Amino acid sequence: MTDTPEAFDAVEVIATKRDGGRLSDPQIDWVVDAYTRGVVADEQMSALAMAILLNGMERPEIARWTAAMIASGERMDFSSLSRPTADKHSTGGVGDKITLPLAPLVAACGVAVPQLSGRGLGHTGGTLDKLEAIPGWRAELSNAEILAQLEDVGAVICAAGKGLAPADKKLYALRDVTGTVEAIPLIASSIMSKKIAEGTGTLVLDVKVGSGAFMKDLEQATELAETMVALGTDAGVRTVALLTDMSVPLGLTAGNAVEVAESVEVLAGGGPRDVVELTIALAREMVAAAGRDDVDPADALADGRAMDFWRRMISAQGGDPDAPLPTPRETQVVTAPTTGVLTGLDALGVGVAAWRLGAGRSRPGEQVQAAAGVVLHATVGDRVVEGQPLLTLQTDTPERFARAEQALEGAITVGPDGQEPSARQVVLQRIDR
Ligand code: URA
């Protein structure tokens, strides 16, 4: 410890926000830096995060907070690449495997995709956990390997290095255990600090809305999307957001290996309609934002080019794209409770069930099961007959079935014939500036 005086006192900064005040630029710079250095204690940062959750932040405060988190670490630079770069970030959902087909698809359109991803915590799955179901695939790459793969293949999905926005890593872990994840200023600054530090030229945000998402309604999701689009644009990153439905799971799978298999189906020209629709919608946004509006991603999906890029992307990271994916030791089928029309299949219930089956973790660092998850045999709007299989639960540890079934209580609703719900809209709104 040195005796050098600190610029501020943590209690004074907390009290400013507790009393509904606006944090000054020097206060923000200091508190983010001092927390990263360990001078501001976890309990003090928790109090400040709760005050921010309750009293909010003005746009200039959020921008400064984001800049301070970026300044806590390194910034990557892709300007030496021969292609423009575009990245996508999803705020997290159930069955959200879109990154898997999307990255090779966009690369096939001549735009490089540096997709630095995370692992799942809670009911939303992690892209790296899914890809680790592929035998041999490696998530950890050095910055030099990322750059080389972007030049050679055009797409990389890997773990974000420890050097990017370390203030966010520490703060996110604290928010996770202090009930302060759901603050819009903190979510927006957390996501955008990582994406701006990553160095992508353009960014497309997939902001999920519905029971399986952080943002349960359109109003909150719009506020989050507008805040992030403004942060990105002001930082010189062309940023666009799509608000997309997360009231039911995306596609017919939630888990790890099962989501890889479904992504490969999409790349092979099949797959569920909603996954294909969202993959193409996001790819079009990324390609257009990167200045390549002369190409249509739908063509690159249809003619097999995206599949070629997938195979090269997986092989470049040690994975075998032809290896059989892990299968579960145990399965259990959930059947339709009655005959009629499937009117609801709650995303949160399915996500929690997949998580409890072993697809996700309840503590950072825990091992996930590659073969765990949920496979759906029907989607909302389908006619179902009492006793017909609706879902298959998969796990290596059958003692998990009971808790997974509990998560599904009330998640499945079957209505009388003639009460078919209106067709689901996947993309709800687009936000640009
Ligand atoms: N994802 C992030 O990276 N940060 C948040 O705060 C929420 C979701």
Convert the pLDDT of each residue in 356-365 to its tens digit.
999 998 777 7
Residue 366 confidence class, pLDDT cut points 50, 70, 90: confident
Q: Judge if the beta carbon of residue 150 lies within 6 A of ligand 1.
A: no
388 CA to centre of ligand 1 in angstroms: 38
What integer pLDDT is reported at residue 97 of this predicted model?
97
Q: Identify the active-site residue in 17, 119, 194, 195.
A: 194
How do residues 217-266 score in pLDDT, each as one tens digit? 999 999 999 999 999 999 999 999 999 999 999 999 999 999 999 999 99
Question: Which pLDDT score, from 0 to 100, does residue 82 have?
Answer: 95
User: 191 CB under 6 A from ligand 1?
Assistant: yes
Q: What percent of the chain has pLDDT over 90?
A: 88
55 Cα–ligand 1 center, Å: 19
Question: How much is the pLDDT for 365?
Answer: 75
Q: Mean of the per-residue pLDDT values for the chain? A: 95
Considering the candidates 189, 190, 193, 247, report the single residue annotated as catalytic: 190
Of all atoms in ligand 1, which is nearest to the CA of residue 118? 3
What pLDDT is recorded for position 320? 98
Q: At what angle do helices 10-18 and 25-37 cross, to 10 degrees?
A: 130
Query: What would the mean pLDDT of 126-140 be, rounded to a whole number?
Result: 96
Cα of 295 from ligand 1 centre, angstroms: 32
Distance CA 100, CA 85 (A): 17
Domain architecture of the chain: domains with CATH:
10-56 (1.20.970.10), 86-323 (3.40.1030.10), 330-415 (3.90.1170.30)
Note the pLDDT of residue 99.
97
Cα–Cα distance for residue pair 127/115, rounded to 1 Å: 10
Distance 313 CA to ligand 1 centre (A): 26
Ligand 1 near 215 CB (within 6 A): no
Segment 373-398 mean pLDDT: 97
For residues 16 and 27, the answer to whether their CB atoms sit within 8 Å is yes
- Report the alpha-carbon distance of residue 40 to residue 11 in Å, rounded: 10
Single-letter amino acid, residue 252:
L
Question: Within 10 Å of residue 80's Cβ, how many Cβ atoms?
Answer: 8
396-409 pLDDT per residue, tens: 999 999 999 999 99
Instruction: Specify the residue for token string 């996501």.
Output: 191
CA distance 146 to 155: 9
Residue tagged active-site, from 175, 195, 305, 400:
175
Q: Is 228 in the pocket of ligand 1 (CB under 6 A)?
A: no
Name the β-bridge partners of 238.
Answer: 202
Nearest residue (by CA) to ligand 1, atom 3, is 191
- What angle is formed at CA 122 by the lines to CA 118 and CA 128, rounded to 5 degrees? 25
pLDDT exceeds 90 at position 160: no
213 vs 369: CA distance, rounded Å: 23
Q: Higher model confidence: residue 92 or residue 189?
A: 189
| 123 annotated active-site | no
**pLDDT cut 70: percent of the chain above it:** 98
Overall average pLDDT of the 280-293 stretch: 96
φ, ψ of residue 16 in degrees (nearest 5): -60, -50
> Does residue 302 surpass a pLDDT of 60?
yes
Specify the pLDDT at position 183: 93
Evaluate: CB of 124 within 6 angstroms of ligand 1: no
- Position 173 scores a pLDDT of 86
Eight-class DSSP state of 399? G
* Integer Cα distance of 218 and 308 in angstroms: 37
- Tell me the per-residue pLDDT of 170-188, one tens digit each, with 9 for 90 and over: 998 899 888 898 899 999 9
Q: Is 89 a catalytic residue?
A: yes
Residue 197 has, within 13 A of its CA and on its CB side, a CA count of: 27
Catalytic site includes residue 194: yes
Q: Using CA atoms, how far apart are residues 147 and 158, in angstroms rounded to an integer?
A: 12
Residue nearest to atom 2 of ligand 1 (CA): 191
- Can 175 be counted among the known catalytic residues? yes
Continuous segment of H or E residues that includes residue 180: none
The helix (run of H) or strand (run of E) holding residue 309 is helix 305-316
Q: How far apart are CA 88 and CA 240, in angstroms?
A: 10
Q: What is the pLDDT of residue 293?
A: 84
Classify residue 271 by its DSSP letter: S
Which of 57, 169, 170, 172 most suits a substitution to test ligand 1, by most atoms within 8 Å of the C-beta? Answer: 172
Question: 324 alpha carbon to ligand 1 midpoint, in Å?
Answer: 33
How confident is the model at residue 3, as a pLDDT? 67
Element (H, E) at 343: strand 340-345
121: pLDDT confidence band, cut at 50, 70 and 90? low
User: Cα(135) to centroid of ligand 1, in Å?
Assistant: 28
Query: Exactly one of 83, 89, 208, 284 is catalytic; which is it?
Result: 89
Q: Rounded mean pLDDT of 301-329?
A: 98
Atom of ligand 1 nearest to the CA of 191: 3
What pLDDT does 2 receive? 55
Ligand 1 center from residue 159 Cα (angstroms):
15
The residue nearest atom 7 of ligand 1, judged by CA position, is 187
Q: What is the mean pLDDT of residues 291-299?
A: 95
